[in-house]
Amino acid sequence: MTQATTLRISLLGPFQVSAEADGEQTMLTGRQRPLLAALALERGTVVSSDRLIEAVWNEQPPPAARTTLRSYVNRLRGSLRALLGGAEEVGTLLRSTAGGYRLDVLPEAVDLHHFRQLSAEAGRTGDAGEERALLRRALGLWRGEALCDVDSDTLRREVAAVIDEEYVQAAQRLIELDLRGGNHDEAIALLRRLTTAHPLHERFWHQLLLALERVGRKAEALAQYEQVRSMLADELGVAPGEELRRFHQRLVSAVGSTGTGPERPAPARRAGPGREVTPSWQLPRDIPSFSGREKARKALDLALRAGPHATPPLAIEGPAGIGKTALAVFWAHRAAEHFPDGQLYLDLHGFGPEPALDPRDALASLLRGIGVPDSRVPDGLADRLALFRSGTKGRRLLVLLDNAAGSAQVRPLLPAQSCAVVVTSRRALRDLVAHDGARRLRLGPLDQAAADRLLAHGLGPARAAADPAGRAALARGAGGLPLALRLAVEFAQRYPDTSLSELAAALTDDRVGQDLLDFGGETASTGLREAWLHTWRHAAPAARRMAALLATPAAGSGPVEMPVDEAALRAGVPWREAFRALDELASLHLIEHAGPFCFRIPALTRRYAAEIGVQPDRDGDATAVQRPCGSLLQRKELVQ
């Protein structure tokens, strides 16, 4: 890795690529910039082709994205080779792997990783002077907002706010060391910059006032307090926090007769002139017929009532129609007393006919929920996040983020630690668990007793009691999915003269069963097929082909289990590729883990996969699912 140390990639500010030897820079153009930025963010590890495609093209990749990506990688290698004087080792610097690409450079070659390396080293040393020097070197690497000119909404959305928070934490620690060591002038200079860049971080203001007081500039400290008090009242409609108020009172007492009157109290939680902010209660209506989920409700109680300092996000995951939102809303109504500052609710539209809600727009909605008027909502994502976390600090709120597309959509929406967060998603929120300590609550099908109670409630006592065997068969045919059970009830109510046994037989009939569960509302969008389709559209083509393959290998309409070895053989693909496709389907809860490297496709999902796998585009809809495996005959040829 000889030339790895001669390459310099700058992400903390305007994007730059240079050679260490002579300081020469290369001007990467077009897609090469987000491509190298994505690789540099994960230096030393393999970045999957899918991840790079998302970073380079956001949500609009070209039809032959993988082929085009290889072309851009080759161009990037040429640009780096020219920068490094034609070094032949560029091929080992930017490596191709089976799953993607890896940039093999030392941490010092990428300013972000060098910053993290220095910060970690500062945290390990026991010497205050050495720690201060290391942190100052680390912060000196910053030249502006991270990734500010990299044309990748995906990268900026997912990492910019996280990196900014790392900067804030390092700066706070350095200032603490400066104040403790008597370096007040250096602390004041840094705090001036920080309060300008992060005006809603009260901790920076408190440290600035403290530093000014210690160098004898008490009148200036009082003026600064008035500035921050006025700013918080205008921006958030709140008074300064308790720490700042206590400091101000002490400062006023110390100054004595200074011509500065006592603090003018700002009314707590004001949304605007003359309007008091009351707690927001945004939950959807309660669900009177909710049944079952006792264990899940107890898990929610234990996870989210532990106190303001022990409430990591809780992710409720499961397939379409399993009742994630119903559980979250039902529980939240009953837990309201534990959240006196209100309950915020936001549908993120991760899976559905509408586009997924952008985190920036989502934050604007959440800010309105805590009383921030539209005129005070800043433009940038990082500023909105800072305002949201400042505005929720010390408050006991429940934030319910429903129908999330994935962790990247959720992470910028997390409030202050004092609040509780519940997220529902059809996707396994792996990054939220790995990086934010989220707890995972997986929902499976209702048990027979709970499904039977739900049916009995919807059908009415007389009809439910008239055919108990048919009612049980109807519950089994719905696969324990609450949505399927409710749709079956609605169908039964429309045809009161049809016995429950006949309805159950129709439900398990491949010719009409799926249609029976698609007529539950005024449009097809309320049915199970449409719900399944919205999940299907999130799967990569290879995963779709694998789902269609799983739908047809055996006779009958029950669930099917398949080891990865068999799936790879039937699909005619390498084992690793088969596992990736199956793992993606499992992450979307289209299939289930059935044992070590073995998966199960439920009966209902299997029937929909078999149907959707061969259906053509619908009415020219550009978002319609394409045929993942061609015709039924072609699919049989693949299996044989």
- Assign 3-state DSSP to the chain and report helix, strand, coil percentages, each to 5: 55, 10, 35
Higher pLDDT, 480 or 119: 119
| pLDDT the model gives residue 615 | 40
Mean pLDDT over each residue of the chain, to the nearest integer: 80
Band (pLDDT 50/70/90 cuts) for residue 208 is very high
Query: Comparing 15-24, 339-348, 435-444, which segment has the lowest mean pLDDT?
Result: 15-24
**What pLDDT is attached to residue 421?**
94
What single-letter amino acid sits at 424? T
- Cβ atoms of 82 and 90 closer than 8 Å: no
- The contacts of residue 541 (CB under 8 Å, 6+ apart) are 626, 628
Q: Is the pLDDT of residue 571 over 90?
A: no
pLDDT of residue 136: 93
Higher pLDDT, 60 or 12: 12
Q: Give whichever of 218-227, 310-319, 360-369 has the largest mean pLDDT.
A: 360-369
Tens-digit pLDDT profile for residues 437-447: 888 999 888 88
Q: pLDDT at residue 409 above 70?
A: yes
23: confidence class by pLDDT, cuts 50, 70, 90: low
Tell me what pLDDT residue 297 has: 86
508 — pLDDT class (breaks 50, 70, 90): low
Q: What pLDDT shows up at residue 520? A: 43
Question: Using 50, 70 and 90 to split pLDDT, how confident is the model at 1?
Answer: very low
**Quick check: 527 pLDDT over 70?**
no
Hey, which of 40-54, 183-197, 267-281 has the most confident mean pLDDT?
Answer: 40-54
pLDDT band at 72 (very low <50, low <70, confident <90, very high): very high
pLDDT for 281: 81
Q: What is the pLDDT of residue 288?
A: 66
User: What proportion of the chain, given as a percentage, has pLDDT over 90?
Assistant: 24
Q: Stretch 185-192: mean pLDDT, rounded? A: 89
Q: What percent of the chain has pLDDT over 70?
A: 82
- In this predicted structure, the answer to whether residue 278 has a pLDDT above a threshold of 50 is no
* Range 205-226 average pLDDT: 88
The residues, ordered by sequence, that sit 6+ positions from 222 with a Cβ below 8 Å of its Cβ are: 248, 251, 252, 255, 258, 260
Q: Measured between alpha carbons, how far apart are the two ends of the chain, in Å?
A: 47
- pLDDT on residue 418: 83
| 120-124, 437-441, 498-502, 577-581: the lowest-pLDDT one | 498-502
For residues 421 and 404, what is the distance between their CA atoms, to the nearest angstrom? 13
Say what the pLDDT of residue 90 is.
67
Q: If you average pLDDT over residues 374-383, what whole number do you get?
A: 87
85 confidence band (pLDDT: 50, 70, 90): confident
The per-residue pLDDT for 616 is: 35
pLDDT at residue 132 is higher than 80: yes
Which two structure tokens, joined as six digits, stand for 200? 């809603």
Q: Of 232-236, 302-306, 394-398, which gets the smallest average pLDDT?
A: 302-306
The enclosing H or E element of 23 equals none
The answer on pLDDT for 631 being more than 50 is no
Euclidean distance between CA atoms 77 and 211, whole angstroms = 50
Span 385-397, pLDDT tens digits: 989 988 888 788 8
Per-residue pLDDT at 341:
84
The answer, as to whether pTM is greater than 0.75, is no
Mean pLDDT, residues 617-626 = 34
| Distant-in-sequence, close-in-space partners of 561: CB < 8 Å, separation ≥ 6 | 594, 595, 598, 599, 600
Cα–Cα distance measured from residue 211 to residue 183, given in angstroms and rounded to the nearest whole number = 9
Looking at residue 544, its pLDDT comes to 84
CA dihedral 103, 106, 110, 116 (to 10 degrees): 120
Q: Which residue has the higher pLDDT, 571 or 513?
A: 571
pLDDT band per the 50, 70, 90 thresholds, residue 557: low
Which pLDDT does position 18 carry in this prediction? 86
- On the question of pLDDT at 581 being above 60, the answer is yes
Of 49-53, 219-223, 258-262, 456-460, the least confident = 258-262
What is the pLDDT, as a whole number, of residue 502? 82
CA angle (133 as vertex; 130, 135 as ends), nearest 5: 110
DSSP assignment of 492-537, as one string?
Answer: HHH-TTS-HHHHHHHHT-TTTHHHHTT-SSSSGGGSHHHHHHHHHT
- Residue 62's pLDDT is 86
Asked if pLDDT for residue 620 goes beyond 50, the answer is no
**What pLDDT is attached to residue 579?**
93
DSSP annotation string for 66-96:
HHHHHHHHHHHHHHHHHHTTS-TTHHHHEEE
pLDDT of residue 532: 75
Are 336 and 397 in contact by the 8 Å Cβ rule? The answer is no
In this predicted structure, what is the pLDDT of residue 4?
43
Answer whether residue 3 shows pLDDT above 70: no
**Looking at the predicted structure, is the pLDDT value of residue 34 above 60?**
yes
Please tell me the least confidently modeled range out of 281-285, 338-342, 438-442, 514-518.
514-518
pLDDT > 50? residue 253: yes
